[in-house]
A = this chain, B = another copy of it.
């Protein structure tokens, strides 16, 4: 294995261990020693990539990318899919669970920031393109709607976590989209957009099957 490939794998193993520890214990209670033990790498290897707990949290937050999405005929379907695939993956994916937890930990936020800007930028980019295509009504401010949806999604997943351990998160995120979409979408399109609780699972399965690359924010 080439040195560079080994470094990439080590970095990844450290980030995954950090995500598990942050998701489980929160930022304040997590220690670099816990993460080191979970990662199974040397202390030197960990510190080569991340020189502090803060750097580990930042690294985890930077990994909240929009994986497992597929291009759709309607941009608004891609927008809905970004929320529903995230809701589907959240309970199973330590990186996302850690991102959610780190983003609500008020004591840590000043140290490492939040994943909010990343998600807002992605959501706004999709909405701007949807509006350009006439799918989103002209009066809508894409940035405003994007910020609303990222913050509302966050509250909805937290409510789901607290009340059912995320068992109903996909259902609750569907409710969110069903309440907002009629306000922003061109009416004729509404019936063509799939907002069902198992939509996220179906899109993720198909994206994995065809090994789709992650959609990135342009």
Contacts and interface: CB of A to CB of B under 8 A. Distances in A.
A12 interface: no
A153 B51 CA distance: 37
Contacts of A184: 179
A176 B182 CA distance: 14
B179 A29 contact: no
A172 interface: yes
Contact of A152 (B155, B161, B182): B155
Contacts of A154: 155, 158-159
Which residue, A28, A152, A154, A176, has most C-beta atoms of chain B within 10 A? A152
Stoichiometry (number of copies): 2
A37 interface: no
Interface string A69-97: 00000000000000000000000000000
At the interface, is chain A mostly helix, strand, loop or mixed? Answer: helix
A180 interface: yes
Interface of A: 26, 28-29, 101, 103-104, 106-107, 109, 114, 116, 144-145, 147-148, 150-156, 158-163, 172, 175-176, 178-180, 182-184
A62 to B, nearest CB: 17
A151 B145 contact: no
28 contacts: A26-B107, A29-B107, A103-B162, A104-B104, A104-B158, A106-B162, A109-B162, A114-B162, A116-B163, A147-B159, A147-B172, A148-B172, A148-B175, A148-B179, A151-B155, A151-B156, A151-B158, A151-B159, A151-B172, A152-B156, A153-B155, A154-B158, A154-B159, A179-B180, A179-B184, A180-B180, A180-B183, A183-B183
A50 B101 CA distance: 30
